[in-house]
Amino acid sequence: MSTPAPKPAASGASLPLSPSTAFEPGGAGAAIRQSNLWKDAWYRYIRNRAALVAGAVFVAVLLYCIIWPIVSPYDPNDVEFADARQGPSLAHPLGTDNFGRDLLTRTALGGRISIGIGFAATFVILAIGVAYGSISGLAGGHLDNGMMRFLDALYGLPYLPFAIITLAILGEATFWAMVIALSIATWFTTARIVRGQIITLKQNDYVRAAGTLGARWHRVLLRHLLPNTLGVLVIAVFLELPGVILGEAFLSFIGLGIGPPDASWGSMAQEGYETYRVFPLLIIIPSVAIATLILCANFIADGLRDALDPRTRET
Amino acid sequence: MTGFILRRLLWTIPVILLVILFTFVLMRQIEGNPFRRSERSVPESIQQNLERKYGLDRPWYVQYAKVVKGVFTFDLGPSLVLRNRDVNDIVRTHFPPSLELGALAMTFALVFGIPLGMLSALKANTIFDYSAMFISNVGFAVPSFLVSTLLIYFFALQWGEWTGLPTSGWDSWESKVLPTIALGLGPMAYFARLTRGTMLETLQQDYIRTARAKGLRWRRVVVVHTLRNSLIPVVTAAGPILGFLITGSFIVEQIFAIPGIGAYYVTAVTARDYSVVMGLTVLLALVVIIANLVVDILYGVLDPRTRDARA
């Protein structure tokens, strides 16, 4: 009773290994690397050195913002006037601000807010853009024409003024208020890109075949069209992100951002701007953080475009 | 071509109506009203009189019609908060600096960005190319408030005696140098990158090889054959960027104390000054619309194929 038991367990354990080992030894199929779009894209991406470095720095900044506030020995809101406006030292690697708060910790927390708002707003932009663009592209005809004309009209909206009005409507500048303000007048380009993609994809034989076989429109959309726009959308994340992060910084800089004691990189820069003649470090640190992130996002977007969509390099 | 321009011009009318409607609807969603700002709030009867005077007690469509009429007759009405000023007045004094700053920054961006991108493409993968692209990438990423602050810190404060540039203001040409660079640096970097990319692509085309093979001078090939075709994406990008430079220069205006529209806009929104916000928003939207219109027309000039396709 106890002796046969190990046998199925052993074969079960070896089972996951068998597909890969079965293909590895010589034979006709050995030279062909099992591959798909994403694997190929990954290989192309890591061969692009600038994009690879940018990606690594980007991840490092994200990890710093997430992890450092937890392990930091300083409380980010701990006011210590005796230590105010110190330059970099061993105790405070980035120095301290006007209230003697540790800048390394404050910057990480500011990054959480800036990057958090940035990603959230980017996803809202993509969600609206995908919904609007795919409906318009899929419907075609008069509806498509009308929706595109409406979009043309929306292009006339100046983005910062509408963000300011939106913030006034929502009252307090909370995280989600910022997200809404930053996405309300910025999703138009994404909608256009998605529509263009859908219209091109619609012509493909497999999509027509699906339609002929009786697939409903939502199945065609979710199963055949949208998965094929995924590459473009991944690129769009990193194309939109810089604009959104800069927008958040601008709004915070003119005093409409998230209020104290919380601070984003933009409001930290605003604090720094007030004392830049005596202590320029305070504006330089958050600005450099923003610049680093945007620089990385640009290189990542370039790398992703070359990796996912090799035919269209520069737009 | 004339028909194309006419149709495009007519199309701006519904666009303007829509922008007015949007601003109108959004403004009414903000809580509070222009007359209740002071600590000593006015008595109910005076409040009602004020609302009647400015037509705020009328139904929304009457108010909307009034705004539309005001926009098309260039009479934007009185400010609701600044009792002795009307919106036309504010536009007349505060819009020109914003417009001028945007135009100067755009000129700066085009004049330096396109040649930089061209040279980078022609000397692709040399030290010049790499350093130009490095500068462009950094210039594109650094936020304008840091650029402004650094420019003031070094060129106006540290080396001020030598450069003679003031830290703020908008009266002499010297005072316009630093704000122009601060606002134009980002777009300049963007144009440089864009021009380089499209130039490199155009240089690969068969007609360039043909032009060279038939013995045209290299300069002619670059200017006539390559540049003209490479500029199409630049022109496409230029419209929205010009609009953004004029409508989005709030920070640079604030830092350099330029009496532009930016500071006014934020105060007007927080003070619920409906007529000022409406007037300024429509004006800013008009700037964006006109910029896009000019781009579409230029597009037709540069690429004749698009004339019929785009109505």
Q: What is the pTM of this model?
A: 0.80
What pLDDT digit, counting tens, does each position of A256-294 carry?
A: 878 777 788 888 888 888 887 777 788 888 888 999 999
Whether A2 has a pLDDT exceeding 70, the answer reads no
Which tokens belong to A254? Answer: 């003119």
Q: So what's the pLDDT on residue A35?
A: 66
User: Residue A27 burial by CB count (10 A; 0-12/13-18/19+): exposed, middle or buried?
Assistant: exposed
Chain A partners of B141 at a C-beta cutoff of 8 Å? 242, 290-292, 294-295, 298
Angstrom distance (rounded) from CA B183 to CA B175: 14
Angstrom distance (rounded) from CA B156 to CA B119: 31
Please name the amino acid found at residue A99: F
CB contact under 8 A, A254 and B198: no
Angstrom distance (rounded) from CA B214 to CA B207: 10
Which residue among A169, A290, A295 places its CB closest to the CB of B138? A295
Please name the amino acid found at residue A142: H
3-state secondary structure of B206: helix
What are the start-end ranges of the H helices in A72-140?
A: 103-139
Whether A91 has a pLDDT exceeding 50, the answer reads yes
CB contact under 8 A, A291 and B142: yes
Establish if B169 touches chain A: CB-CB under 8 angstroms: no
Establish if A50 touches chain B: CB-CB under 8 angstroms: no
CB contact under 8 A, B198 and A165: no
CB contact under 8 A, A169 and B247: no
Angstrom distance (rounded) from CA B152 to CA B146: 10
Chain A partners of B240 at a C-beta cutoff of 8 Å? 155
Chain B partners of A171 at a C-beta cutoff of 8 Å? 31
Whether A14 has a pLDDT exceeding 50, the answer reads no
Angstrom distance (rounded) from CA B130 to CA B115: 15
Whether A6 has a pLDDT exceeding 70, the answer reads no
User: Residue B64 burial by CB count (10 A; 0-12/13-18/19+): exposed, middle or buried?
Assistant: middle
From A61-75, B29-43, B109-123, the region with the lowest mean pLDDT: B29-43
User: pLDDT band at residue A255, thresholds of 50, 70 and 90?
Assistant: confident
Rg (CA), chain A: 25
Nearest to A149 by CA among B68, B243, B8, B205: B8
Cβ atoms B253, B175 nearer than 8 A: no
A141 or A310, greater pLDDT: A141
Name, in order, each residue with C-beta under 8 angstroms of B172's C-beta and a sequence gap of 6 or more: B166
Q: So what's the pLDDT on residue B82?
A: 66
Q: So what's the pLDDT on residue A128?
A: 92
What are the start-end ranges of the H helices in chain A?
A: 6-14, 18-23, 37-47, 49-71, 103-139, 141-154, 159-170, 175-183, 188-202, 205-212, 217-219, 226-253, 265-274, 281-308
Distance from CA of A27 to the nearest CA of B (A): 42
Mean pLDDT for all residues in chain A:
78
Establish if B141 touches chain A: CB-CB under 8 angstroms: yes
User: pLDDT band at residue A311, thresholds of 50, 70 and 90?
Assistant: low
Chain A partners of B197 at a C-beta cutoff of 8 Å? 313-314
Angstrom distance (rounded) from CA A34 to CA A26: 15
Establish if A53 touches chain B: CB-CB under 8 angstroms: no
Whether A174 has a pLDDT exceeding 90, the answer reads no
CB contact under 8 A, A291 and B287: no
Rounded to the nearest 10 degrees, what angle do helices A188-202 and A226-253 cross at?
170
Which tokens belong to A26? Answer: 């010589």
With pLDDT > 90 as the criterion, what percentage of chain A qualifies?
Answer: 4
Angstrom distance (rounded) from CA B214 to CA B220: 12
Establish if B165 touches chain A: CB-CB under 8 angstroms: no
User: pLDDT band at residue A16, thresholds of 50, 70 and 90?
Assistant: very low
Whether B181 has a pLDDT exceeding 60, the answer reads yes
What pLDDT digit, counting tens, does each position of B72-90 carry?
A: 777 767 776 666 777 778 8
ipTM surpassing 0.90:
no
